[in-house]
Amino acid sequence: MPFDLSLIAIPALLLIVGGLAGTLAGLFGVGGGIIMVPMLSSGLAMLGTQHDTAMHVAVATSLATIIPTSLMSFRTHMKQGSVDTAILREAVTWIVLGAMAGSFIASQISAKYISLFFVGLCGFMIWHYLAKDHLNVAPSFMPGPIVRGVLCLGIGLFSSIMGIGGGVLGVVMLTAFGLPIHRAVSTAAAFGLIVAVPSTIINALHEVEGFVPFGTIGTIHPLGILLLTPTAMIMARIGARWAHKISAKKLKGAFVILISIIGAKMLISTLMF
């Protein structure tokens, strides 16, 4: 019986992706999903997984890894008393509904459309990163409950489709509502957990056709969770330390280059498949 090289190649890929995603997430202060999903989907495709399946497995596995990391982060922020529980209680139902809808939509669409969502996210992140120092939002700004609900629904929807935590979009929304940045970050830390739990349940029940990595449950790779999560968490701390040793100007430039590369990669994937 010939030896299956994927038994070595896939764990090695997961360790590399987890390490790089964690390092870059810590370095630039972004969620690992925006880095993890493109890298993992590309790696799985290179190892023989069909392109659409590779993207769905990458998205689902990324969401599953968010559960332990966001839970740990949220507990820390709760202990510090910096979470706005009133906003969180209002947002939970809307985010859950959005995440459930997003997971269903993601299971029905091709990788091409998920890649297009990523291209849009990369463009938004570059704009926000470059413009945030020049954005002036009135501190008393707060839309009505219907608008807030729709925005939270959108956060759950788009985050679950792309396999990212809701923190990135959540911080943008909450700071626009006038919350101080530290309170916004603390409150948005729970968004990832709220997105990931229902999405992971739905993804575990979703069956895909064709070859999938050994041990995959639905579209979730359990080995991916075991290897990606601790590696990313360890390397995120190292990346965060490096960030303090690099000038803000160089860090901003490196971030724009990285997100531009990810956006270009996803755009090329859209055109090729």
Q: What is the DSSP string of the chain?
A: ----THHHHHHHHHHHHHHHHHHHHHHHT--THHHHHHHHHHHHHHTT--HHHHHHHHHHHHHHHHHHHHHHHHHHHHHTT---HHHHHHHHHHHHHHHHHHHHHHHHS-HHHHHHHHHHHHHHHHHHHHHGGG----TT----HHHHHHHHHHHHHHHHHHT--THHHHHHHHHHTT--HHHHHHHHHHHHHHHHHHHHHHHHH----S---TT-BTTB-HHHHHHHHHHHHHHHHHHHHHHTTS-HHHHHHHHHHHHHHHHHHHHHHHHH-
pLDDT score at 197 = 94
For residue 137, pLDDT over 60 is answered with: no
pLDDT score at 248 = 72
pLDDT score at 1 = 43
pLDDT score at 151 = 94
Rama region for 180: left / alpha / beta (φ>0; ψ in -120 to 50; rest):
beta
What residue has token string 């409150």? 187
According to the per-residue pLDDT averaged within each range, which of 33-37, 77-81, 195-199, 215-219 is highest?
Answer: 195-199
pLDDT above 70: percentage of residues in the chain: 90
Confidence of residue 156 (pLDDT cuts 50, 70, 90): very high
Dig out the tokens for 174 from the structure. 């909450």
Least confident of 74-78, 136-140, 191-195: 136-140
Range of the domain at 54: 6-272
pLDDT score at 3 = 45
The residue with greater pLDDT, 257 or 241, is 257
Instruction: Name the burial class of residue 12, with classes exposed (0-12), middle (13-18) and buried (19+) by CB atoms within 10 angstroms of its CB.
Output: exposed
pLDDT score at 224 = 83
Q: What would the mean pLDDT of 159-178 be, rounded to a whole number? A: 85
Q: What would the mean pLDDT of 25-37 be, rounded to a whole number? A: 76
- The answer to whether residue 1 is domain-embedded is no
pLDDT score at 206 = 84
Calpha distance 164→188 (Å, rounded)? 13
According to the per-residue pLDDT averaged within each range, which of 73-82, 105-114, 170-179 is highest?
Answer: 105-114
For residue 153, pLDDT over 50 is answered with: yes
pLDDT score at 132 = 65
- The answer to whether residue 77 is domain-embedded is yes
pLDDT score at 176 = 79
For residue 177, pLDDT over 60 is answered with: yes
Q: What would the mean pLDDT of 5-18 be, rounded to a whole number? A: 76
Least confident of 44-48, 131-135, 250-254: 131-135
For residue 5, pLDDT over 60 is answered with: no
For the chain, what is the domain count? 1
Mean pLDDT of the chain: 83
For residue 80, pLDDT over 70 is answered with: yes
